Amino acid sequence: QVQLVESGGGLVQAGGSLRLSCAASGRTFSTVAVGWFRQAPGKEREFVATISAIGRVTYYADSVKGRFTISRDNAKATVYLQMNSLKPEDTANYYCAARNIGTSKKTVDYNYWGQGTQVTVSS
């Protein structure tokens, strides 16, 4: 089992930055891949970024590529999502998720989910 807790969300103006954190407990953190997803009201949950267990492999959604950076510190059992040049369309509830084998862009592939943190970008 892996327990995940997101933090770092908030209200920011367009063009601003936020850093989200996903703190994990339970199973050895360095053995799981982690993904960030987001869900806006009335929309499906969508992939944002993912990072492999030891951080060598990362993937991003086209909509955030070049603006967001995913990273992890396995000693602290934490994954980060640095979000720069934020746009109003980035407004959503952001979730981190973990899975036991390899990265994935699909929500159905993840076994463990956090409760989410709200990001609101004003224009």
| Interval 94-120: pLDDT, tens | 999 999 989 999 999 999 999 999 999
Strand partners, 68: 83
| Phi, psi dihedrals of residue 109, rounded to the nearest 5° | -85, -5
What pLDDT is stored for residue 28 in this prediction? Answer: 82
